[in-house]
Amino acid sequence: MEKRFLVAVYGSLMQGLHNHNYLEDSKLKGSFVTEPIYTLVDLGSFPGLYENGTTSINMEVYEVDEHTLANLDILEGYDETNDDLSMYIRTSISTPFGIAFIYLYNDNIENKKPILSGDWREHLMFKKNLEKYVC
């Protein structure tokens, strides 16, 4: 029997967003909001998540197989042999559905604007609406 893993996602991998196809064969276990211990920042078409912040983050948890987890590692630029070369670092988080992997952004937080709502989907809608008025 193939190993299964839980993965918590908070950005472009969420339902309805542009990288969700990576999870199309995975089971959604549910959604939850973290304790206010993170910082979510806008990196353009995707967010970065940092620990030791003050924001609660909206997340979805999926049950994935080994193949899907390997593909997520590639998408997130995670090299399990060298954190220094990784764009994101895969670590674990406690969720209402069990311990899940999560990807934390592995770069400097300086000059990055925090998303105070902790909700990437809401932030994207805000950006889209803002573009209507700026352009």
Distance CA 120, CA 46 (A): 8
Domain count across the chain? 1
pTM: 0.92
Q: Find the angle CA(91)-CA(114)-CA(101) to the nearest 5 degrees.
A: 15
Q: What range defines the domain where residue 96 resides?
A: 4-134
The predicted-structure confidence for 3-20, as pLDDT tens digits, reads as follows 999 999 999 999 999 999
Residues serving a catalytic function are 76
| pLDDT tens track for 92-134 | 999 999 999 999 999 987 888 899 999 999 999 887 776 666 5
- Helix, strand, or coil (residue 14): coil
CATH code (residue 29): 3.10.490.10
Residue for token pair 């990576």? 22
Distance of CA 110 to the CA centre of its chain: 19
| Distance in angstroms (rounded) separating the CA atoms of residues 69 and 80 | 12
